[in-house]
Amino acid sequence: MPNRIDQKFADLRAAGKAALIAYIAAGDPHLDATRELAWAFEEAGVDILELGVPFSDPLADGVVNQLAATRALASGTTAQGVLDCVRAIRAQSQLPIVLYTYMNPIYRFGFAEFHRAAEAAGVDGLLILDLPPDEDAQNAELMQQTGLKRIRLIAPTTPPARIAQLTAGASGFVYYVSREGVTGEQAEIATSLGERVAEIRATTALPIAVGFGISTPEHVRQVTQHADAVVVGSAIVKQIAEFGHDPALVEKLAAFVRPLAAAAKA
């Protein structure tokens, strides 16, 4: 069976469309809601779901996503709980799922065991924020032995030689961080976006997704002029923070992401 991420991008490329990747913190406000949101997001047009594995020290995240991780941990969410949630999502969905995580939860779980368990649960890819490719080469136990895609991050400050190194070790897609700093909504898209995406594209045939700071359908339309996918995270997480205890949470979040998904396909 082809990897769901690869299949999704192949289908979208054939249709001349871009992907919307939605990020939420797994377990915020609780894992039952995460499962329901995944199903609703797929129906609303989300192409790939990025699930954050909650961690106490999320250094790449701004305050919105930090608070989401705190809420998820307070609800009792664990790495195993996230994998169980993915398995439950798979009962009625083939939506590609990427786990957005830091190394510590995986290390505590057991690096090789986590990869095997994630793949068995139905995860398609991992974005490990604080595991650079240099560590893979120097530590044999960090070399993954599964079919999970390894998504790599590239920043605006990444030099050309480093870009080539990162894309050489990437699979699934490449995630370009459109702004310096941490996650969070921004008023405008970086003016250097087109130039930077072209620079990355010169080193790889993988799809390029752009994230950090994207929050409106207009932002999505601007990004998809250059990239194959757009990631919306903090704007969605902020809605979960506002409506987390609302009985209509799932319906309200689906209504929020639907125009974002439509903009990606425009």
- Peptide bond just before 96 cis, omega within 30 deg: no
Nearest to 41 by CA among 97, 85, 82, 3: 97
**Does 47 qualify as catalytic in the annotation?**
no
How far is CA 264 from each of CA 87, 108, 210, rounded to the nearest angstrom?
28, 37, 12
Cβ contact 54:26 at 8 Å? yes
CA-CA distance, 253 to 251, in Å (whole number)? 6
Catalytic-role residue among 42, 47, 61, 228: 61
Q: How far apart are CA 87 and CA 206, in angstroms?
A: 27
Q: Which two tokens stand for residue 161?
A: 């030689």
For the chain, the maximum distance between any two Cα atoms, rounded to a whole number of angstroms, is 50
Nearest-10 crossing angle of helices 193-201, 160-168: 50
Cβ(108)–Cβ(75) below 8 Å: no
Catalytic residue chosen out of the listed positions 6, 42, 50, 124: 50
- Is residue 50 annotated as part of the catalytic site, yes or no? yes
Compute the CA torsion angle 200, 138, 2, 116 (nearest 10 deg). Answer: -140
Q: Which residues are tagged catalytic?
A: 50, 61
